[in-house]
Amino acid sequence: MMTRSPITHAGFASLAALGSLISLAAITSSPAVAQQPGASFSLTVTQLSSTNGQLIVCLFREKADFPECEEGDGTWRRTYPITGATTRIQVPLPAAGNYAVTVFHDENRNGRLGQNFIGMPTEGVGVSGNPGGMPRYARSQVPLAAGSTITIQMRYLFD
């Protein structure tokens, strides 16, 4: 005959914690919370000075990487053609959340932001939230989800 050991208060606490973890796992994996494959957001880039070159768009999930546009953990980089003074593009979205977004007008198509001898950009730049002056990560963050729309205004320092 098998005897059952009594469930103690600690046993109930462990079962409750396990139940909470199972519930949390079910919630975080549900389609309502998880990003859909192929999800994207709409980006409108305004005030481009010409249709020469290409646009390089970067999404930053981490402050440590901002504003350097090097793809890696927490940073995604994509290149797009310019279709006019205002260009609209669909940008893949890794997951819903807060991101800082940068755009630069790579006029010479070398894949890098042109800079003068003191490090000032010689090509157009734009940042989400359109802050003036040196962009700060906190001021540049915007909430993005599938279907979101944002507009970034290009700025040219030496035009």
Q: What is the pLDDT along the chain (159 residues), one digit of tens a residue?
A: 444 444 444 443 333 333 333 333 333 333 333 456 689 999 999 999 999 999 999 999 999 889 888 888 889 999 999 999 999 999 999 999 999 999 999 999 999 999 999 989 999 999 999 887 888 999 999 999 999 999 999 999 886
123 falls within a domain: yes
Residue 27: what pLDDT? 31
107 falls within a domain: yes
Question: CA geometry: angle at 101 spanning 97 and 103, to 5°?
Answer: 160
Cβ burial of 106 (10 Å; 0-12, 13-18, 19+) is: buried
What's the number of domains the chain is made of? 1
Tokens of 122: 């010689």
Residue 36: what pLDDT? 60
14 falls within a domain: no
Residue 150: what pLDDT? 97
32 falls within a domain: no
Segments forming the whole domain that contains residue 147: 40-153
Distances (CA, A) of 10 to 3, 4, 7, 21, 46: 19, 16, 8, 17, 61
Question: What's the pTM value of the predicted model, to 2 decimals?
Answer: 0.75
62 falls within a domain: yes
17 falls within a domain: no
104 falls within a domain: yes
9 falls within a domain: no
Unique residue bearing structure tokens 């494959």: 37
The verdict on whether omega for the bond into residue 6 sits within 30 degrees of 0, i.e. cis, is: no
Q: How far apart are CA 155 and CA 145, in angstroms?
A: 26
Residue 134: what pLDDT? 83
Q: How far apart are CA 21 and CA 77, in angstroms?
A: 35
The CATH number assigned to the domain holding 140 equals 2.60.40
